[in-house]
């Protein structure tokens, strides 16, 4: 693949459909955006891996939301990693890029003391997807327990439980270094989802011992056979194919699913984006009672705030705040 072709697939999400199998999906490559997200912080390697996985999942899931909507993941646990939060901002207009951001809150000392796998650092908790449709609407929220051995497993469980949609993810991520260059994060993934008409066939009771529905509980007959066949094909994908950079997303689909008649749609570009601003900080501070605001004032006489997503630092003079709560 040429350099130009490689760059063309960086930070894109390619939606597709397998016409012979009633299955839809997305291929995502998140590279420069991921490097920007992780470059805002000095995360330990296992924490960075969790943030990278969450960001990639958010891009794959978020691509379907409507213009100007926002999709967020919130992953909370009682382990050394307490929170992973991501936001996918759909484009403001057709043809514009979507925006993606993510961050983690964690106990640095506890993470340093363990050699546990990244997912184990979360402990027990929940995996939530939130969709904000804009002003004058009520956000949608779905929650499932943390389960399986990865965030991808949690996302698959979420769709089986909350949406009754059979879903499968294949993800690859890590750092790569070209000759003479610096190590950089790369990630790539494929999401498969059986069309919604499968939902009425959901089994009354989960077949697994976990008590949670799985894709196999949701499909019967021809639908189940299609799902197994396509998943077997997806199982042949290699990590190097998912992250590239030498295989384009369209080429990868043909390699994996050429017998299923893959049909691709317009690719969605993704950029790093943060919605923080000084005005937002001022408005949020004005919602605090006056007594609490006084406790926030530094010895220098100002109130400071930092954006967890992009690292922006804001300094506000308390005199700027109008009508603080009493």
Pair 290, 326: CB distance under 8 Å: yes
Chain-centroid distance of CA 106 in Å reads 18
Residues in the chain with pLDDT values less than 70: 1-8, 197-211, 323-326
The candidate with the shortest Cα–Cα distance to 152, out of 163, 167, 130, 141, is 167
pLDDT of residue 295: 85
- CA gap 324, 303 in Å, rounded: 14
- CA gap 233, 244 in Å, rounded: 18
pTM for the model? 0.88
pLDDT of residue 291: 80
pLDDT of residue 4: 44
3-state DSSP assignment of residue 167: strand
| Residue 258 DSSP label | G
pLDDT of residue 201: 40
pLDDT of residue 205: 53
CA angle 158, 134, 127 (to 5 degrees): 20
* Distance separating the N- and C-terminal Cα atoms of the chain: 63
pLDDT of residue 141: 93
3-state DSSP assignment of residue 176: strand
**Mind listing the pLDDT tens digit for each residue in 210-219?**
667 777 788 8
Q: Where are the domains of the chain?
A: 3-272, 278-320
Token pair in block for residue 147: 């389960």
Residues 6 or more apart in contact with residue 69 via CB below 8 angstroms: 90, 131, 132, 133, 134
CB atoms within 10 A of CB 185: 24
**What's the CATH code, domain 3-272?**
3.55.30.10
Token pair in block for residue 202: 């959901």
The candidate with the shortest Cα–Cα distance to 308, out of 40, 53, 48, 14, is 40
């Amino acid at each position: 693949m040429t350099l130009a072709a490689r760059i063309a697939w960086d930070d894109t999400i390619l939606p597709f459909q397998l016409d012979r199998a009633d299955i839809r999906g997305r291929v995502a490559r998140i590279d420069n955006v991921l490097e920007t997200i992780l470059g805002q912080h000095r995360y330990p390697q296992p924490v960075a891996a969790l943030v990278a996985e969450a960001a990639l999942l958010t891009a794959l899931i978020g691509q379907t939301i409507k213009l100007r909507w926002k999709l967020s993941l919130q992953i909370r646990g009682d382990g050394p990693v307490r929170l992973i939060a991501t936001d996918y901002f759909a484009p403001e207009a057709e043809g514009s890029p979507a925006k993606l951001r993510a961050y983690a809150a964690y106990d640095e000392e506890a993470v340093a003391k363990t050699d546990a796998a990244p997912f184990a650092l979360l402990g027990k908790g929940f995996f939530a997807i939130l969709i904000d449709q804009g002003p004058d609407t009520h956000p949608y929220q779905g929650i499932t327990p943390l389960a399986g051995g990865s965030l991808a497993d949690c996302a698959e469980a979420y769709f089986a439980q909350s949406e009754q949609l059979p879903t499968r993810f294949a993800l690859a991520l890590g750092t790569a270094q070209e000759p003479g260059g610096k190590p950089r994060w790369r990630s790539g993934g494929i999401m498969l989802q059986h069309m919604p008409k499968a939902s009425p066939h959901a089994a009354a009771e989960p077949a697994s011992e976990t008590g949670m529905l799985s894709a196999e509980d949701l499909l019967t007959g021809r639908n189940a056979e299609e799902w197994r066949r396509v998943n077997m094909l997806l199982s042949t994908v290699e990590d190097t194919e998912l992250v590239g950079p030498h295989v384009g997303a369209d080429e990868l689909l043909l390699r994996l699913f050429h017998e299923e008649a893959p049909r691709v749609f317009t690719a969605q570009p993704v950029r790093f984006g943060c919605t923080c601003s000084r005005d937002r900080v001022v408005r949020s501070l004005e919602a605090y009672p006056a007594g609490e605001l006084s406790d926030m004032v530094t010895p220098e006489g100002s109130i400071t705030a930092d954006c967890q997503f992009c690292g922006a630092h804001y300094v506000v003079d308390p005199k700027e705040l109008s009508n603080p709560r009493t």
